[in-house]
């Protein structure tokens, strides 16, 4: 066993050598700025640009693109590449708040911003409906809108629920949230004889390449997307956004490189967000606490023009042994931009609702919350009847309870106090997240100096994929980490696809494994041990597939598309699991809630990179605390969109909110999923944390949170 490898790019990052999208400054760079519409929905009647054009240094003011100069992209969830189907400056329609009505390009960012603020317009305004309950929204059954997302049914859940000795029936409201990655959305775009090059932080270089090529009417080969490092993704950067095409058009018109950085408040309105969702959970059990039925009804927001699908109930059905299950998901069409994936997009809300209800069931049955969860563990996927490829949830709960000291908990709410008089609450929650994987094309080159270069179709978003690749190569060859170079995030290398949904590691590492095997074969080297010395560079390119995938899945990826598989594979269902334990302290007078400590035990298969994996878990716990106690993008009934669209109004946890985070991995390989036995980690780390916080708040105060975030006024 080698000692855990430190993050391979840590030094480069802290010394400023890593370049993110907007850090690229090609010679002759011009700077762009956007003018957002002053209404949330309606039509632009007239635009006045004379004042903007008069600002010194202004090069171009664009309010309407020429016919065919740029076309609207196709929405990601219907086979396209874009987070939404709206592209600004193509017509006079304003579909959502924050939609740009003008793009200004100038010699400096200051001139561009000044001029953008001087673009004036008149509008015809339409009313907006922004919440699930607004009378102006349209509500439709998801089954009617999207065929493939049919409601899941196992047994007769209604009858089983009605006959249950113990019943919990509760509705949970989860708010709109934004992922607020540190790196602002941006594009640096330039044209040359080869075509157009885009430097942009993204989780999906291929989507930008294919989508922009389509928008510009170019073959994909003439678009290069470079994203070696991304300042946080979390689903927010999973596809093409509106600024890339605008910057490309401006750069083409001016014959100069153009940089367009989307300011934070416009990011709140021009990229994906976690949609509002409402969950009615009906949970039935016998007097012994064994679950007899689960019914899960969901309403989830989307925009007026794209259907971001609801997929909550696939996870809620799989956390426990559920003999009878019924799901019903509805789509609520509201006036916002199209929502999208945000860290554990379905699983955080679904599991918050389920795990809150489980806590109520513990009270209703008199069982300890950990015991209740252990009692309802299952080795079989309730939806398909297939075995789980690996499932160590019970072990997560047991080890977590030990580490946390759960045995010292007294069950009565309000029964535990700290020395300073504050109320102490201890809460627990389980977590599950689907283990998907995708095809990958991986290239290796072994050089005579012993150096190995790995081209992987992956994106380094801070999650540590480069470290995981290097550590895997070191583990398989024994070579020094310093001899391994990872090339990732550049469409010139190998095909890239969306790095998200926690399938990055389980996609890329099997590719690296397969490519190393092929390299050894090519060189006549033994299947294990150090790689041989070569006299000339030796190169292999190898395709890998998820279990059960046909070879055509790889062709889809090579063509610029996506082909993720799972969580249901031919012979098994694959999930990652976790258990979270949380202690809160509630100040008795002000009711201020502080999380005092957390313990998380995670089953993500074999841990590929212990150092970066631990960081992923810490990030997930921080995010869960934010979801429980802080984060809410407030829908704005006046203008659509969100009222607190900046980091002053949208509060994320700060250091003072975060306690010691204790964590442990089960670290058992899942050999069914891939040869290395790795499952996904990033998202499952966040799932369940908010429920554990809310359950701890209930234990401290007796208050049962039915909506998030929990606010002080809820506890007064």
Point out which residues bind ligand MOS (CB under 6 A).
Answer: 203, 233-235, 238, 341-343, 345, 500-501, 682-683
Chain center to CA of 215:
25
Q: Quick check: 128 and 336 in contact, CB under 8 A?
A: no
| Cβ-based nearer residue to ligand MOS, 456 or 500 | 500
Which residue, judged by CB position, is nearest to ligand MOS in the bound state? 235
Measured from the CB of residue 465, what is the shortest distance to ligand MOS in angstroms?
Answer: 12
For 450, residues 6+ apart whose C-beta sits below 8 A from its C-beta are: 479, 483, 531, 533
Nearest to 543 by CA among 457, 648, 662, 459: 457
CB of 497 to ligand MOS, least distance (A): 12
Q: Which helix (H) or strand (E) holds 165?
A: none
In DSSP terms, 440 is beta-bridged to 544
End-to-end alpha-carbon separation of the chain, Å? Answer: 53
Between 98 and 235, name the residue whose CB sits nearer to ligand MOS: 235
Q: Are 429 and 372 in contact (CB under 8 A)?
A: no
The least CB distance from residue 191 to ligand MOS, in Å, is 30
Contacts of 610 (CB under 8 A, 6+ apart): 4, 665
Instruction: Give the shortest CB-187-to-ligand MOS separation in angstroms.
Output: 20
Contact present, 536 and 449 (Cβ < 8 Å): no
Q: Which pair of structure tokens corresponds to residue 443?
A: 């290239």
Burial class (CB in 10 A: 0-12, 13-18, 19+), 662: middle
Shortest Å distance, C-beta 114 to ligand MOS: 36
238/292 with CB nearer ligand MOS: 238
* Strands of the 593-603 sheet, one edge to the other: 416-417, 423-434, 575-586, 593-603, 660-665
Cite the active site residues: 683
DSSP state, residue 82: B
Q: Between 35 and 185, name the residue whose CB sits nearer to ligand MOS.
A: 185
Minimum CB distance to ligand MOS smaller for 235 or for 688: 235
- Judged by beta carbon, residue 343 or residue 630, the one nearer ligand MOS is 343
Q: Find the helix or strand (DSSP H, E) in which 176 lies.
A: none
- Tell me how far apart the 2 most distant CA atoms of the chain are, in Å: 77
User: Smallest gap, in angstroms, from Cβ of residue 457 to ligand MOS?
Assistant: 15
The residue (of 105 and 690) whose beta carbon lies closer to ligand MOS is 690
Q: How far apart are the C-alpha atoms of 180 and 77, rounded to whole Å? A: 22
What span, in angstroms and rounded, lies between the C-alpha atoms of 55 and 59?
A: 9
Could you tell me where the beta strands, DSSP code E, fall in 435-496? 440-446, 452-456, 484-488
Shortest distance in whole angstroms from residue 683 CB to ligand MOS: 5
Contact 416, 408 (CB under 8 A): no
Q: Which is nearer to ligand MOS, 149 or 161 (CB)?
A: 149
What minimum distance in Å lies between the beta carbon of 233 and ligand MOS? 5
Q: 690: alpha, beta or left, given left = phi > 0 and alpha = psi -120 to 50? A: alpha
């Amino acid at each position: 066993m080698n000692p855990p490898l430190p993050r391979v790019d840590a030094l480069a990052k802290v010394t400023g050598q890593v370049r993110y999208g907007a850090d690229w400054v090609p010679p002759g760079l011009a700077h762009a700025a956007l003018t957002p519409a002053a209404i949330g929905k309606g039509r632009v009647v007239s635009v006045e640009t004379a004042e903007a054009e008069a600002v010194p240094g202004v090069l171009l003011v664009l309010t309407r693109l020429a016919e065919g100069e740029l076309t609207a992209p196709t929405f990601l969830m219907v086979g396209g590449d874009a987070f939404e189907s709206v592209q600004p400056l193509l017509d006079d329609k304003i579909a959502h708040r924050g939609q740009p009505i003008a793009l200004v390009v100038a010699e400096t960012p200051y001139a561009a911003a000044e001029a953008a603020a001087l673009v004036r317009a008149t509008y015809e305004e339409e009313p907006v409906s922004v919440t699930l309950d607004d009378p102006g929204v349209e509500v439709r059954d998801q089954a009617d809108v999207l065929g493939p997302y049919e409601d899941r049914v196992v047994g007769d859940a209604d009858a089983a629920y009605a006959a249950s000795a113990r019943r919990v029936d509760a509705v949970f409201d989860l708010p709109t949230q934004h992922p607020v990655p540190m790196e602002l959305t941006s594009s640096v775009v330039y044209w040359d004889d080869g075509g157009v090059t885009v430097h942009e932080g993204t989780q999906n270089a291929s989507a930008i390449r294919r989508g922009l090529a389509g928008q510009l009417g170019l073959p994909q080969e003439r678009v290069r997307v470079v994203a070696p490092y991304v300042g946080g993704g979390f689903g927010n950067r999973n596809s093409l956004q509106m600024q890339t095409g605008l910057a490309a058009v401006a750069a083409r018109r001016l014959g100069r490189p153009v940089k367009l950085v989307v300011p934070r408040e416009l990011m709140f309105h021009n990229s994906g967000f976690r949609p509002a969702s409402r969950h009615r959970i009906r949970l039935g059990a016998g007097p012994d606490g064994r679950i007899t039925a689960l019914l899960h009804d969901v309403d989830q927001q989307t925009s007026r023009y794209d259907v971001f699908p609801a997929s909550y109930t696939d996870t809620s059905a799989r956390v426990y042994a559920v003999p009878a299950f019924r799901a019903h998901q509805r789509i609520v069409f509201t006036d916002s931009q199209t929502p999208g994936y945000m860290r554990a997009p379905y699983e955080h809300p679904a599991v918050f609702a389920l795990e809150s209800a489980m806590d109520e069931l513990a009270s209703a049955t008199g069982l300890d919350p950990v015991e209740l969860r252990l009692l309802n563990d299952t080795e079989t996927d309730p939806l398909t009847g297939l075995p789980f490829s690996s499932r160590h949830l019970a072990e997560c709960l047991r080890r977590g309870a030990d580490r946390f000291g759960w045995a010292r908990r007294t069950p009565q709410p309000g029964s535990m106090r700290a020395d300073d008089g504050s109320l102490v609450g201890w809460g627990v929650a389980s977590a599950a997240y689907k283990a998907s994987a995708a095809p990958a094309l991986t290239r290796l080159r072994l050089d005579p100096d012993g150096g190995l270069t790995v081209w992987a179709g992956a994106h380094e978003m801070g999650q540590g994929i480069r470290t995981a690749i290097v550590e895997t190569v070191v583990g398989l060859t024994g070579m020094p980490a310093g001899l391994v170079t990872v090339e990732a995030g550049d469409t010139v290398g190998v095909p890239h696809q969306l790095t998200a949904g926690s399938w990055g590691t389980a996609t890329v590492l099997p590719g690296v494994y397969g490519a190393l095997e092929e390299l050894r074969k090519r060189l006549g080297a033994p299947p294990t041990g150090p790689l041989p010395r070569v006299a000339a560079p030796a190169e292999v390119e190898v395709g890998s597939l998820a279990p059960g995938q046909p070879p055509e899945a790889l062709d889809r990826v090579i063509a610029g598309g996506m082909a993720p598989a799972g969580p249901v594979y031919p012979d098994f269902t694959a999930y990652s699991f976790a258990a979270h334990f949380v202690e809160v302290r509630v100040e008795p007078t002000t009711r201020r809630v502080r999380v005092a400590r957390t313990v998380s035990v995670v089953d993500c298969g074999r841990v590929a990179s212990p150092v970066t994996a631990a960081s992923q878990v810490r990030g997930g716990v921080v995010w869960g605390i934010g979801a429980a106690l802080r984060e809410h993008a407030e829908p704005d009934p006046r203008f659509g969109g969100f009222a607190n669209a900046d980091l002053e109004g949208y509060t994320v946890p700060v250091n003072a909110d975060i306690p010691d985070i204790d964590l442990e991995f089960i670290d058992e390989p899942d050999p069914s999923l891939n040869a290395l036995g790795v499952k996904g980690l990033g998202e499952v780390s966040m799932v369940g944390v908010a429920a554990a916080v809310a359950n701890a708040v209930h234990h401290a105060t007796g208050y049962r949170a039915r909506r998030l975030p929990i606010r002080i006024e809820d506890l007064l």
